[in-house]
Structure 1
Amino acid sequence: MKIAVLAEQNLNLIDGSTIWLLNACKLLALQSDFEIDLLLAHRLEVRTLANELPDTIRVHDAVALQASDGLDGPLTPDTLPHLLAAWEEEHGRYDRIFVRGTGFLTRLLDEPLFCDRIVAYAPSVIPDVTLPEPQWVQLGRQLRTPVVVQSEIAKRALEALSDYPAYVVHVVPPIVFPTPSQPRIETDSVTLCYSGKIELQYGLDWLIALCDEISDAPDLAVSMIAGKDTHRAANPAFFADMDRFREGVAQGAYPRVSLARNLAHSETKVRMGQGDFAFCLRHDRYDDVIEISTKIVEFCSLGVPPILNNNMLNRSLFGASYPYLVDVSAGDIPARLQEIMRSRHSPAYQAAKERCTRIAAQFSAEALSVRLGRALRGHDKTSPALAATPRHILIATHERKFLHQITDRLRGEPEVTVSWEAWESTIKPRVQPYVSDEVDTVFCEWCCENAVWHSRNKRPDTRLIVRLHRFEAFRDFPERVDWAQVDALIVVSDHFRDLMISRFGVDPSKIHVLPQFINWHELQRDKLPEAQFTLGLVGINPFEHKRFDRAIDFFAALRARDDRFRLAVRSVMPWEIDWVWDRQDETRALFEAQFARIFSDPDLSATIRFDSGGPDMEEWYRGIGTILSSSDTEGCHTSVLEGMAAGCLPVVYDWPGAQSLFAPHVYSDMAEAIPEVISFAECEDIASARTAFSTKVQKHDVEKFIQYFMGL
């Protein structure tokens, strides 16, 4: 696979972002099937970092290509598409373009020539509610562009706050590469080490104050490894003090301080490893940042405990009991630093070093290389190839919503081509259907008029596969399909298999039962504390199908037995759907009666919450312990499969087909499930019980579905 790495960062400078670029290239180089070009947005003049790139990385100066067009200066978003197209014309097309930088991302995602090959890197994804949503997020969400972020917190923020599809958000924390062990120089003094750019908000005013205070302290020392000056014009007073400090160090006024600048990254890490503590404090404006600092991880890998802000990100990584978390709002930071430095021989220091060892193990290059490789490929390297020879699949459908994960996966398969035949509705194609000579398989998603037409106009050398959902089974389409011309029919449950055999005479050997797939791996998330006594119900529309009243009846009966339980309803409201709310029948009255029942009952109104619809279901299931299905009819009720994958107990009304999917958790009277719900919530080993439910539905994971589908 041919990969281009394109970043706005200037590799001539040494800071956290260019160290990331260096390490990302090293990480990609560990993937044996990747052929990697690093396209630099700035002319390479200082090779300090470039010299540390693996030999397999080809470094290209994109600025030189720009100069050939009469342009000067660094690469810009405006000139990028033309120059990248010219580059590919000369050097060959890239399979993936790994991009960091909002300007570059926005421009390339808006360019049809490149948009479906982009993999984005987003170090900070918390949206600013005072500003419009970044355009790259809007474009990426629509295109389902894979995004690499640094932490689980960042992933969940992108899912929940920006509605980004969970399955294309990949967590790849900062990378740590092993450093050859260096003999430690033992001294009587305790050394606090800082490595990074010179910026006021990085707490360097506190560090200078500390250096002023310890100039006569024989047991304390500071080692500074300085990168570039940042925001000098905006902070003249701070940089005046920094210049005074640097001059003082040069003249020997700070005998307990060493200061080095512009070192190779390998030499920097050697110096970092000589410290006893790492200065990683920042001003509180950084407390809402969800980007894990590469320097923090590097210090951990070197066995040097970092001194950190006591904020959410650091507590999630190091634990709330980590002894060197500092509340920077408490004041007198230099005094707190001296107190910490003098704890080197304490049990707390040894505990901190052990914590650092465990953290560093999470960021090993081998493990993270696999993660980054998966983000670029769209699947694990170890996954079996989906096709041994070239295949061209034509998908005919009026609605693609259940296919996104499948087609995104196929997009990453070199031997598979997917094209589309769009239908305006269940009965009307957008243009006259046509199967080109290149197509070897036609897949009709939904058994509607698309399946009727293709079964009656099938080319002899093609295969025809039809997938039937619950909706079409009770329409007139199946009886008009020429089933003799259909090679395979996919149905979502045994009930619909039996129905297609008895009602329409479909050959049983052609029918394959495949419930709607789930992303099993994305649903493996830790439960929130409230999940233990929270029931979940997904979807209440339309009334006669979902039977919202039956779920409320069950919940009220459960509350009468045990008042610890709550109900969370995740659904679009009926008045938000015209075809539900404006129907000329009793639907509106039935819904109004249930809402009146809830909000006139203090107990129900206080214990039922309504969560608006959205794609971040993986996060929502973290707060759910029991998942309900109160419907009269369903195909396979995907939300129950998802809930089980997330470790939820299923409670399912006995709709046709439910027994084959969810027995023994299916009830003709849902009230019969109340003892099991209470017992599950009180289970001493609830983690094992949740794992058992999750394991039971692992067979419905999307990757297994795709493998089976391609077998057909």
Structure 2
Amino acid sequence: MKKTKVLFAGHDLKFARIIMDNLASKPTYEIRTDEWTGHNTHDEEKSNECLNWADVIVCEWGLGNAVWYSQNKKPHQRLFVRMHLQERDTMYPFSFNLDNIDKIIAISPYVYEEFYRVFRFPREKMTMIYNVVDTGHLNKPKVEDAQYHLGIIGICPQRKRLDLAVDMLEKLWQEDNRYKLYVKGKMPQEYPWVWNKDEERAYYEEIFARIDNAPWKDAVIFEGFGDVSEWLSKVGIILSTSDFESFHLSPSEGMASGAYPVILNWDGSDTIYPKQYIYSSVEESVASVLQFNSLEKEQQKEVVVKAKTYVNNRFSVEAITTEWDKLISKSSLQLNY
């Protein structure tokens, strides 16, 4: 059997890694990567080697990588560009050679419509495939009292709104001092592009000072960057407090682990997550947590199982890679004619 050679190209492949690994495990595909050093910087000699090798090219992010491949793709090849949201605020998509792009893949319905609104991509060139969540890897037993443990994954930059997560903790801790806030990810000092901006640094310094001077300061636990599966075993309430997101994996990862999701209403959140988990304010969010923790254990279990099932059905490795397999298989059939 002739394998389809699929190339993934881009500066940041972490969101595509699960898709790549799953396709590589199938006997019908051979996978390679062209990892760029920035939005528009790469080893052109290597990119040309990869270009000459590939049957199908997937540009992860629609930045300089998608410009280069859309301008250099060969007639017999198929090119897909997977776009998140960051690209909306760049000029790169205006330089795409759309004639050489077979599909532009948006990761949520909101992102799909945003890219149509801003760039007016032809709708026949567009499709939507959600981000993927490794639900099996995240499904671990919870520690005792996890239902009192809030969790937030990623607090940089400022738009992630750590302050709102802290607001929630403060109000909940005043009701019951068993509540804690676990913070997963790098600190702002570890990102020069964040810490060197006066406004960003002032924002974090104010929050850290607030925590240090609070009676609940020991209830905020900062933990470093790394695998979230073990970390989520102690988190019973997963937070999404951002001003805006393209998809935001954190709520779905938390739901897959058996955590109750609390999502502040960023644009497009209701096109990805059920409305019963989306709230318009800190006060509503706090009330939802208190209401959840007023339930009997069996009732709580029913709630989190329902959330877990939602993620398994829509974002699991099996569900999403089936969509990718269909897309690439269809293009592979076209390559044979």
Tell me what 2:19 maps to.
406
2:286 pairs with 671, 674, 686, which one? 674
Q: Give the letter for the 1:444 counterpart.
A: C
Q: Offset at 1:437?
A: 5.3
2:88–2:118: 8 Å Cα contact kept in structure 1? no
The answer (yes or no) to whether the contact 2:9–2:57 under 8 Å persists in 1 is: yes
- The alignment-based identity, stated in percent, is 32
User: Residue 311 of structure 2 aligns with which residue?
Assistant: 697
How many angstroms apart in 1 are the aligned matches of 2:292 and 2:193? 38
Shift of 1:508: 2.4
> Relative to structure 1, is the Cα distance of residues 619 and 487 closer, same or farther in structure 2, using a 3 angstrom cutoff?
same
Distance 1:498 1:436, change over 3 A: closer
By how many angstroms is 1:459 displaced? 1.6
- Matched residues in 2 for 1:667 and 1:679: separation? 14
Deviation at 1:599, TM superposition (A): 0.9
Structure 1 residue 389 displacement after superposition: 5.2
CA distances 1:90-109 after superposition (whole Å, capped 9, x unpaired): xxxxxxxxxxxxxxxxxxxx
Residue 633 of structure 1: CA displacement?
Answer: 1.5
Q: For residue 668 of structure 1, report the CA deviation from its aligned partner.
A: 2.4
Q: Distance between the aligned counterparts of 2:320 and 2:249, measured in 1?
A: 14
Query: In 2 relative to 1, CA 438–542 (structure 1 residues): closer, same or farther, beyond 3 Å?
Result: closer
> Is the Cα contact below 8 Å between 2:19 and 2:132 reproduced in 1?
no
Relative to structure 1, is the Cα distance of residues 489 and 631 closer, same or farther in structure 2, using a 3 angstrom cutoff? same
- Indicate whether 1:521 and 2:139 are aligned: no
Distance 2:128 2:32 in 1: 25
Is 1:649 matched up with 2:260?
yes
Partner of 1:628: 239
Return the offset for 1:636.
Answer: 0.8
Show CA shifts across 1:618-648 (max 9, x none): 1111111111111112111101110011111
Gaps of 5+ in 2: 328-337
Match for residue 613 of structure 1?
Answer: 225
Contact 1:652 1:670 in 2 (8 A): no
Contact 2:242 2:264 in 1 (8 A): yes
1:537 maps onto 2:152 in alignment: yes
**Structure-2 change in CA distance of 1:581 and 1:392 (3 Å):** same
1:469 maps to what in 2? 84
Q: Alpha-carbon deviation of 1:436?
A: 4.9
1:124-165 per-position Cα deviation (integer Å, ceiling 9, x unaligned): xxxxxxxxxxxxxxxxxxxxxxxxxxxxxxxxxxxxxxxxxx
Counterpart CA distance in 2 for 1:667 and 1:423 is: 38
Q: Which runs of 5+ in 1 are unaligned?
A: 1-387
Question: Residue 315 of structure 1 corresponds to which residue in structure 2?
Answer: none
Spell out, residue by residue over 1:653-707, the C-alpha distance to the aligned partner (whole angstroms, 9 max, x if none). 1112112112232222132122221121232112222111100111211232222
Q: Which residue of 2 aligns with 1:15?
A: none
Deviation for aligned residue 1:438 = 4.8
Judge conservation of contact 2:55–2:77 (CA < 8 Å) in 1. Answer: yes
Instruction: Please list, as runs of the form range in 1=range in 2, the aligned pairs for 1:213-232 lying within 5 A after superposition.
Output: none
2:332 equivalent in structure 1: none
Displacement of 1:511 after TM fit? 2.5
What's the secondary structure of 1:624's corresponding residue?
A: coil
Q: Provide the C-alpha distance between the structure 2 equivalents of 1:436 and 1:498, rounded to a whole number of angstroms.
A: 30
1:73-132 deviation digits (Å, cap 9, x = unpaired): xxxxxxxxxxxxxxxxxxxxxxxxxxxxxxxxxxxxxxxxxxxxxxxxxxxxxxxxxxxx
**Could you tell me how far apart the structure 1 residues matched to 2:105 and 2:295 are?**
38
- Partners of 2:36 and 2:154 in 1: how far apart? 26
Matched, 1:601 2:199: no
1:346-377 CA distance string (max 9 Å, x none) = xxxxxxxxxxxxxxxxxxxxxxxxxxxxxxxx
Secondary structure class of the residue paired with 2:105: strand
State yes or no: 1:555 paired with 2:177.
no
**Distance in 2 separating the partners of 1:554 and 1:529:** 21
Alignment partners' CA distance in 1, 2:264 and 2:288:
14
Q: Is the 8 A contact 1:581 1:588 kept in 2?
A: yes
> 1:427 — aligned with what?
40
Is residue 2:1 matched to residue 1:395? Answer: no
Query: How many Å apart are 1:515 and its aligned residue?
Result: 2.8
Aligned match for 1:441, one of 56, 62, 76: 56
Separation of aligned partners in 2, 1:658 and 1:484: 32
- The answer for the alignment partner of 1:591 in structure 2 is 204
Contact kept in structure 1, 2:132 and 2:316, CA below 8 Å: yes
Find 1:581's aligned residue among 175, 195, 209: 195
Greater Rg over alpha carbons, structure: 1
Are 2:325 and 1:710 equivalent residues in the alignment? yes
Residue 73 of structure 2 aligns to a residue whose secondary structure is coil
- The TM-score, its normalising length taken from structure 1, stands at 0.43
- The answer for the alignment partner of 1:227 in structure 2 is none
Written as runs of structure 1 = structure 2, the 5 A alignment for 1:338-349 is none
TM-score by length of 2: 0.89
Q: Sort the Cα spacing of 1:649 and 1:456 in 2 relative to 1 into closer, same or farther, 3 A.
A: same
State the alpha-carbon separation in 2 of the partners of residues 395 and 571 from structure 1.
26
The one-letter code matched in structure 1 to 2:305 is T
Contact 2:264 2:285 in 1 (8 A): no
3-state secondary structure, aligned to 1:401: coil
SS in structure 1 at match of 2:225: coil
Structure 1 residues 397, 700: CA separation in 2 closer, same or farther (over 3 Å shift)?
Answer: same
**Shift of residue 587 of structure 1?**
1.3
Query: Which residue of 1 is the match for residue 302 of structure 2?
Result: 688
User: In 2 relative to 1, CA 514–670 (structure 1 residues): closer, same or farther, beyond 3 Å?
Assistant: farther
Kindly report which structure 2 residues correspond to 1:49-128, keeping only aligned pairs within 5 A, or say none.
none
Separation in structure 2 between the aligned mates of residue 669 and residue 697 of structure 1, nearest angstrom = 24
For 1:264, the equivalent position in structure 2 comes to none
Give the count of matched residue pairs.
321
**RMSD (Å), alpha carbons:** 1.8
CA contact 2:51–2:73 (8 Å) conserved in 1: no
Q: Distance in 2 between the 1:426 and 1:674 partners?
A: 39
Task: Mark the CA change 1:710 to 1:561 in structure 2 (over 3 Å): closer, same or farther.
Answer: same
Look up the SS of the partner of 1:628 in the other structure.
strand
Give the corresponding residue for 2:180.
566
The question of whether the paired residues in 1 share the 8 Å contact of 2:152 and 2:183 is answered with yes
Structure 2 match to 1:658: 269
* Paired residue secondary structure (2:203): helix
Give the 3-state SS of the residue equivalent to 1:651 in structure 2. Answer: strand
Contact 2:168 2:285 in 1 (8 A): no
